[in-house]
């Protein structure tokens, strides 16, 4: 009887293991979309950082967009 149930048991384990990966992928996709939204829209803190000299402005507004996206995703998921 044990051998007859083995394939069904494997499918259940695979389904359970697949759920966290799907959740993580959805969260990463959502974070990427939010990052792109904040990077294009440039809300107040990011727009102000854009005026830094040299390449620092472009770098720091991307960092700020990433931080805002990360905070929003964290607030949504917790």
Structural domain contains residue 5: no
CA dist 19 → 8, 22, 26, 45, 65 (Å)? 17, 5, 11, 36, 28
Structural domain contains residue 10: no
Structural domain contains residue 6: no
**Dihedral, CA atoms, 34, 35, 41, 43, nearest 10 degrees?**
100
Per-residue confidence (pLDDT) for residue 9, from 0 to 100: 53
Domain region containing 59: 21-77
Structural domain contains residue 3: no
Structural domain contains residue 1: no
Structural domain contains residue 39: yes
Q: Please count the structural domains in the chain.
A: 1
Reported as a single tens digit per residue, the pLDDT across 41-53 is 999 888 999 899 9
Reported as a single tens digit per residue, the pLDDT across 9-61 is 555 555 566 678 788 888 999 999 999 999 999 998 889 998 999 999 999 99
d(CA 33, CA 2): 47
Structural domain contains residue 46: yes
């Amino acid at each position: 009887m044990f051998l007859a149930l083995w394939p069904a048991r494997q499918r259940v384990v695979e389904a359970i293991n697949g759920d966290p990966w799907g959740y993580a992928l959805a969260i990463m996709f959502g974070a990427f979309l939010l990052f792109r939204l904040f990077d294009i829209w440039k809300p107040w803190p990011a727009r102000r950082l854009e005026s830094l000299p040299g390449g620092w402005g472009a770098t720091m507004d991307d960092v700020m967009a990433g931080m805002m996206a990360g905070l929003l995703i964290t607030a949504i998921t917790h």
